[in-house]
Amino acid sequence: MDRENALGWLGGVEMGRRWSVGWLVITIAVIGMWMPPQVSAQDPLTQNYTTSDGRLTVSYPETWGATEFFGVMLSNDAVLLETFDFETLPDDVFLLIIAGGPINELIDFGGSGTFEEDVLAFAQDEADDTFTEYVGPKIEEFGGHTAYRTIGQSGGQEAIYMYIDLGGGNMLEVVVFANEGVIQQYGKTIEAVVLSAQYHAPAEPVVSGSVIWQQMERFDYEDFAPIGSVVVGPDDTIYVAGYYSGINVYDSEGDLQEVIGDTQLTNRWSGYAEDFAVAPDGTLWVVDANQHVTHIESNGEILHTWGELGQDSGEFGEYSPGQIEVTPDGRVVIQDRQDSEEFYTMTRIQIWDEEGTLLNEFVPQPSGPNSTITGYADIEMGLDGTLYIAGDYEIWRMDLHTGTLSQVRLDPIMSSYAYIDSFAISSTGHLVVASSEGGIYWFDAQGGYISQYGQEQVLSDYDSDAPPFMDGEFYSPRGMAVLSNGHVVVSDYNYTWWQVVVFTFEE
């Protein structure tokens, strides 16, 4: 089973959740839990594993394997952590996932809702969604804390859900899937591992900033709707890509100057501008997801276009290319997505000259424990010609001469479950990162946290009843750029309203 399908099989674990600050959540999927008194003593916990954000540490036996995947994933079969074959688990093998994060505002992946601090009701809802048959929830004591346990069946396995209230706004969530008999083999050791978990919540951030100007209207596919990229030119001109409507051009004060692109031009793009970039000479480079790269004058006149479907060098995958940047010396850098046999989509970074000649290409391949970049949220160009690549949860620098990668280690202020929607680089080399949880974070060039602004607009559904944005609210920022004075430009929409907003951080 591949990782994507494995996530579906582990639906009860719901690893796609998004969490908010102030709670500890530990999710555990195992094939055994809490053995009765007559079984053998627990294995000694001699090994420690700490997540990359430094927030969660777990102790476990030397014979187990451990890796990072939505927290800490452990098993007494290390090969299982490489194959992700959860569907055919041997009777004596278990999978254990421990993930730390906040839960004061709990939103399921693909849906929405608010945690009302009623743990018992929450446990009941989770059981209803997960178990085919169940008894509970039952209130009991675990490790000196109040726990809410539900026992049932899920996916052909015996299952246990447990929520342990640690006090002070912290909680442990325990999910167990068990083949018959494994409970008696490993329960006591797994219980000890649960009790060993230590979570270090980040310091409460200072959230401050103010809106400079905002443009907001109802979303209309036939009119301008800024669901694409945002680019700032050398003179602080703001370019915002619309949906099938060209590119709106604003001055730094928010006044609309012109619209680049008409019906003929957008038809040539065969879709909305997936991404675009401003070259040092002021011309624009645009890519759409139908294998087109288009070089245009600022007035919309087409200078050059190329692109064709394929997997060979210089060709683009289906629904590609996705991102484009221009180096200070005028080279064109394009992110091409190619379907792979793995659970992720392979990405190539292609480097072209302005005439459409392919100069080089690289497949980003990090070294160390992460063998791939998970997801590709965005690419951005640094002032020194270094390419920055954002995955779902991390940002990497790429040397465009060698393809070498180095990770920008961001301070762990963002939730472990918040992925990167978009990011931008300021003229000082600082990073501005938009989180899927609505906040926008300001880091220095080394990844040190400076400040943050904004919060997520929580919707009850995706229909036409979504409310307008309040100051500081963001739903799903699709584009972001930084003006020369440090003000941040964001494009965003919530299926009913769109906004282009400029704000400033306050230190």
- Please report, for the chain, the start and end positions of each structural domain, with discontinuous segments joined by +: 3-199, 209-505
Mean pLDDT of the chain: 76
Q: Which residues make beta-bridge pairs with 175? A: 161
Looking at the chain, the whole-number percentage of residues with pLDDT higher than 70 is 72
Query: Looking at the predicted structure, is the pLDDT value of residue 76 above 80?
Result: yes
Instruction: Say what the pLDDT of residue 385 is.
Output: 94
Pick the CATH number of 209-505 from 1.10.10.60, 3.90.1150.10, 2.120.10.30, 3.40.190.10: 2.120.10.30
Q: What are phi and psi of 381, to 5 degrees?
A: -105, 130
State pLDDT tens for residues 253-310: 999 998 887 544 444 444 556 788 999 998 999 888 788 899 988 777 889 889 999 8
What's the mean pLDDT in 434-451?
A: 90
Place of tokens 């060209």: 246
Query: Looking at the predicted structure, is the pLDDT value of residue 170 above 50?
Result: yes
The percent helix, strand, coil of the chain (3-state, each to 5) is: 10, 40, 50
C-alpha span between 375 and 391 (Å, rounded): 5
- The CA-atom distances, in angstroms, between 105 and each of 174, 184, 272, 505 are 18, 36, 34, 24
pLDDT bucket at 68, cuts 50 / 70 / 90? confident
**Poorest-pLDDT segment among 15-19, 106-110, 365-369, 400-404:** 15-19
What's the mean pLDDT in 478-499?
A: 90
C-beta of residue 456 within 8 angstroms of C-beta of residue 437: yes
What's the mean pLDDT in 185-194?
A: 85
For residue 321, say if its preceding peptide bond is cis, omega within 30 degrees of 0. Answer: yes
| CA-atom Rg of the chain in angstroms | 25
Instruction: Say what the pLDDT of residue 430 is.
Output: 96
Instruction: Say what the pLDDT of residue 229 is.
Output: 86
C-alpha span between 473 and 270 (Å, rounded): 32
Closest-CA residue to 439 (of 414, 417, 463, 470): 414
C-beta of residue 98 within 8 angstroms of C-beta of residue 69: no
End-to-end CA distance of the chain: 47
Q: Is CATH 3.40.1000 what the domain over 3-199 is classified as, yes or no?
A: yes
Tokens of 480: 């972001």
| This prediction's pTM | 0.68
Query: Looking at the predicted structure, is the pLDDT value of residue 26 above 50?
Result: no
What's the mean pLDDT in 212-228?
A: 76
Tell me, what amino acid is at 452? Q
Instruction: Say what the pLDDT of residue 205 is.
Output: 61
Query: Looking at the predicted structure, is the pLDDT value of residue 483 above 90?
Result: yes
**Poorest-pLDDT segment among 206-210, 274-278, 423-427, 502-506:** 206-210
